[in-house]
Amino acid sequence: MSAISELETIEKRYVELENQLSNPEVYKDKKKYSELAKAHANLEEIVKVYRDYKKVLKAIEENKELLRDPDEDIRELAKSELKELEVQLEDLKKQLKILLLPKDPLDERSVILELRAGTGGEESALFAADLLRMYTKFAEKKGWKVELIDAHQTGTGGFKEAILSISGDKVYSQLKYESGVHRVQRVPITESQGRIHTSAVTVAVLPEADEIDDIEIRPEDLRIDVFRASGPGGQHVNTTDSAVRITHLPTGLVVTCQDEKSQHKNKAKALKVLKARLLKMKQEEIKKEQDEMRRSQIGTGDRSERIRTYNFPQNRVTDHRINYTTYNLEAILDGELDEIISLLIEHFQAKALQNLSIDL
């Protein structure tokens, strides 16, 4: 199917959905109405851009006709407008090509975000705390819900590990490129001679498992242990066996949760993390079977990649994948990630377009 045929089909489907949504009988069925409204909203942007594209095409044809007008002033005006319209057309073509790219089915999902201190000892753990705050602030600005599922805090306020649930609209589409190694360069508090140290924190962003993912967890495949929560973050539940550790026997995956006072709630949260990790394993198995072109389209997201450096002495943040540098480190750590994330999305869209032929 050509790109234009596909766009015509999308517009036709959009009109059909509009007609269905205006039906009083459909409105009475709240579930069906909600599904149709979501499908309609998902098509709204591409239909709007396509309609603008058709308007500009029509205007170009009309101005080309005017180039043959006997009146010189009208011909000059048409020539001037044509230049503007052709620029608009190229911009709309670019937008349509991006909107026609295959959608990542996981983009709509909420996520499990995992932070782990790496090289650098206590300094790495302190930087993990900085990143935890950064992602929490970013999520709050987006209106997303953040829950701390598990955390292993150090005596100085750092984190050896922290696991968050971030829920909201299209969270994975915004955060999926954050997976990887985040490097920090700064003078540690414990450094008496003012030397700059380099430390690292690993970030993993896992899309939450959905009912449609067919992630089967059989009760007999689980070993569930309960114990008393301890350490920072668990003081309020030290007197009861409320903490939960779940071991998935077939894979050896282990998940613990001690954030809630209720053992039942901790078990539910731990199962949510386990499902996300099993989904990630399933996705990685599929990814191994895909060819090099597909991998280049979606980016590797490899956790071993050094993706970003935060340099405190120079107040600098550099994302190495897109050669982007900003001297506004404080704002970045305060959750101002929109610009970096937008540039990353554009970068990976551009890579995908290189590997696909979409003619308009």
Q: Where are the domains of the chain?
A: 3-99, 111-212+301-352, 219-286
Give residue 19's pLDDT band: very low, low, confident or very high (50, 70, 90).
very high
What confidence tens digit (pLDDT) does each residue in 110-126 have? Answer: 999 999 999 888 999 99
What is the C-alpha separation between 205 and 168, in angstroms, rounded?
Answer: 14
Model confidence at 87: pLDDT above 90: yes
Task: Copy the structure tokens of residue 224.
Answer: 């569930």
What is the C-alpha separation between 103 and 170, in angstroms, rounded?
Answer: 12
Task: Let me know if domain 111-212+301-352 sits in CATH 3.30.70.1660.
Answer: yes
Q: For residues 197-216, give the mean pLDDT.
A: 83
Model confidence at 132: pLDDT above 70: yes
What confidence tens digit (pLDDT) does each residue in 1-18 have? Answer: 688 999 999 999 999 999
Within 10 angstroms of residue 101's Cβ, the number of other Cβ atoms is 14
Provide the mean pLDDT of the chain: 87
Q: For residues 270-296, give the mean pLDDT.
A: 71
Top pLDDT among 86 and 194 is at 86
Please give the pLDDT value at position 290.
45
State whether the Cα torsion 166-168-172-176 is positive or negative: negative
pTM, two decimals, is 0.72
Top pLDDT among 234 and 40 is at 40
Q: For residues 70-83, give the mean pLDDT.
A: 93
Model confidence at 298: pLDDT above 60: no
Q: Which CATH number fits domain 219-286: 3.30.479.30, 3.30.160.20, 3.10.129.10, 3.90.1300.10?
A: 3.30.160.20
